Amino acid sequence: MKATIYHNPRCSKSREALAILNETPGVEVEVVEYLKTPPTAAKLRELYAKAGISPIEGLRKGEDAAKPFVGAVDDAILDAMAANPILIERPLVETEKGVRVGRPPDRVREIL
């Protein structure tokens, strides 16, 4: 099974989720450092749809730059995330079974 993790190596939760993926037998892990290679707004829309969450639920609300987008329409949130990927709640993990925001990191096990 392939798993793609949108990863920030400076984030402890992201590192924990990556460790879970790497320790799971049969999982081929693709790491996307999303701060260096941000997903497009369209890709984020697809990921959140697969996760069953709205873009506002994927917004890292603790960031000062997120405050103007609380209550904004989905397109504005997605565009902001694509332009400023620090706004993406991390980690985000995608497999053939779905997508999960790894908070807590054990949530990624649901799609393995």
Identify the CATH number of the domain in which residue 97 sits: 3.40.30.10
- For the chain, the domain total comes to 1
Residue 49 falls in the annotated catalytic set: no
Active site residue: 11, 27, 32, 53, which one? 11
How far is residue 36's CA from residue 69's CA, in Å, rounded to a whole number? 22
pLDDT tens profile 46-88: 999 999 999 999 999 999 999 999 889 999 999 999 999 999 9
C-alpha distance from residue 68 to each of 56, 60, 76, 80, 83 (Å): 12, 12, 10, 10, 14
What integer best gives the mean pLDDT of the chain?
97
Structural domain for 89, as ranges: 2-111
pLDDT per residue as tens digits for the range 6-32: 999 999 999 999 999 999 999 999 999
pLDDT of 85 reads 97
